[in-house]
Amino acid sequence: LLQKEIAQAVYGEETYGPAELTATKVLSGADAGYTAACGGGGTHKPQNTVAGTIICVCGCAEGQSHKPCHKKQATETAWQATNIPNRASWGNLRNVCPKATKTKITAHGLRELVAAAKKIANTQGNDVFIGSEGENTCNGNANGACVKITGGAASGNLKDDAIPWINKLEAVAEQLTERGNYNSEQQRKTAAINELISRAKAVAKRAHYLFQFQKTAQAAAAGEATEGTVSKADCKQYTTNSTCPKNDCKWDSTTEDKGDHCKPKPGTESTAAGEKTNEGEKDKCSAAQTPEACAAVKGDIPKDEKAVCGWITYIEALAMPATSTWCQDPVPRIIGGSQEPAAFL
C-alpha cells in the first residue's frame, strides 16, 4: 500500500517506474509544450508529481540543447512541441541517475529528500519557483529551466499545499514511523509473553517439589513412618512410634506409642563431626517436618536468634538462600490457606 502511495507521488499513478510518462498523470493536464506546462500560466501542475517537476527542472524546450541537471548527460531531455519528453528523451535523463537495485525506503530517508527539495524552492512575491534561481520565466531556455507555482507562497513562506508531492511523501514518512513504533511495541509484547512462558515453565518444574512436600506432610499426619529422609542424629525429634523413621531410627519402647523413644539404630549413635558445625544445624533444620519438630531441634543457638531453627512457609523459603538454617513448611499456603499445588501454578 505504501509503495503505491509513493508511486502516486512520483509518477501520478500506482505503477512504479513506467518506461514512458503520460502528461495527464505527471502534469495533471492535457498534452502541452514546455512553457505552457512549466510556466505557471495555465492549469497544468507539474508540482503534483516528482516526475513532472524533474522534466521541467532538468529538461529543455523543443530545439534547445542545454542539460540543466547534468552537464555530462549524453543527450538532452528535450520536450516535444506540444507534449512532454517522449520515451527516448525521458530515458536520457534516467540514464544519468544511479540505479539502486535494493533500496530500503525509510521515514528518515523520505524526510531528508523532502528537506532537500524545499531548499531548492525559492519565492518571488507570492509565487514559488523550483529550479533556476533568479528566473521568473520558466520557458525551457538556457536559463529558464524551472517550475513556476503561481500563488504558492504567502508573505514569503511556502504554502502547505504548494508542492503536493512533498505532502504525499511526508504522509508516507509518518506512516512508516507509526509502523516502526507498532512493530517495536509488538516485539516488546512478544518478549514479555516469552518471559512469562519461561517463568511458568520454571514454576511447573517446582510442582514436583510441591507434591513431594505434600506427600511427606500427609504421611506424617496419617501416622506413617518417613522412609530414610532424616539425619540419623535427629531421631529424637520424633515423639510418636508411627512417625519414627524406620530406615535410620528405632522405637525402643514396646509399651509406649508416644514419648522420647525414637533412637538411632545401633551403630549410628555417634553424631558426625560435621553435625556439630553450622552445616550440621542446617541439616537438622531442613529435616524437621512440623513446627513442633523444628522448635525441638537441639544444638548451638545462632547469635541474635532465640532457637536453633526457625519455621518458615514454603513460599517464604523460595526467597531464602539454600544454606539458611530454617525449617520449611512442606505444604505451600498461598491463596486462602489452600494447600493445592494448583493454587501456586
Give the SS3 label for residue 238.
coil
pLDDT of 216: 52
* Proportion of the chain above pLDDT 70, given as a percent: 77
CA–CA gap between residue 287 and residue 289 (Å, rounded): 6
Per the DSSP assignment, residues forming a β-bridge with 252 are none
Lowest mean pLDDT among 68-82, 158-172, 283-297: 283-297
- Residue 89 pLDDT > 50: yes
- How confident is the model over 130-157, as pLDDT tens digits? 987 778 889 998 778 999 999 999 988 9
Mean pLDDT computed over every residue of the chain? 79
End-to-end CA distance of the chain: 45
pLDDT of 161: 92
203 Cα distance to chain centroid? 25
- How confident is the model over 185-218, as pLDDT tens digits? 999 999 999 999 988 888 777 665 555 545 554 5
Lowest mean pLDDT among 7-16, 166-175, 186-195, 278-287: 278-287
Cα–Cα nearest to 128, from 166, 169, 93: 166
- Residue 332 pLDDT > 50: no
CA–CA gap between residue 115 and residue 155 (Å, rounded): 20
**How many CA atoms does the CB half-sphere of 103 hold within 13 Å?**
9
**Mean pLDDT computed over 260-276:** 61
CA–CA gap between residue 20 and residue 320 (Å, rounded): 76
- CB atoms under 10 Å from CB of 77, counted, come to 26
Give yes or no for a contact between 165 and 65, defined as CB atoms under 8 angstroms apart.
no
pLDDT of 343: 31
Lowest mean pLDDT among 64-68, 83-87, 228-232: 228-232
For the chain, strand residue ranges (E) read 121-124, 127-131, 146-149, 153-154, 157-158, 249-251, 262-264, 310-312, 326-328
pTM of the complete model beyond 0.85: no
- How confident is the model over 11-60, as pLDDT tens digits? 999 887 788 899 999 999 999 999 999 999 889 999 999 999 999 999 99
pLDDT of 24: 94
The total number of residues written for the chain in this structure: 345
Q: Which cell goes with 296?
A: 525441638
What is the bridge-based pairing of β-strands 157-158 and 249-251? unpaired
What is the bridge-based pairing of β-strands 310-312 and 326-328? parallel
Of 239 and 173, more confident:
173
Q: Where are the domains of the chain?
A: 2-174, 278-345
Give yes or no for a contact between 15 and 7, defined as CB atoms under 8 angstroms apart.
yes
pLDDT of 316: 53
Lowest mean pLDDT among 104-108, 126-130, 306-310: 306-310
Cα–Cα nearest to 309, from 273, 284, 276, 290: 284
Output the CA–CA distances (angstroms, integers) from residue 151 to 41, 52, 128, 301, in the order listed: 11, 18, 7, 94
Cα–Cα nearest to 3, from 21, 20, 19, 15: 15
Class of residue 133 by CB neighbours under 10 A (exposed 0-12, middle 13-18, buried 19+): exposed
Task: Out of 160-169, 250-259, 321-330, 336-345, give the one with best mean pLDDT.
Answer: 160-169
Give yes or no for a contact between 60 and 76, defined as CB atoms under 8 angstroms apart.
yes
- CB atoms under 10 Å from CB of 203, counted, come to 13
CA–CA gap between residue 137 and residue 193 (Å, rounded): 64
Count helices and strands in the chain by DSSP H and E runs: 11, 9
- How confident is the model over 173-190, as pLDDT tens digits? 999 999 999 999 999 999
Amino acid at 175: Q
Give the SS3 label for residue 142.
coil
Task: Out of 120-124, 169-173, 290-294, give the one with best mean pLDDT.
Answer: 169-173
pLDDT of 219: 52
CA–CA gap between residue 167 and residue 8 (Å, rounded): 12
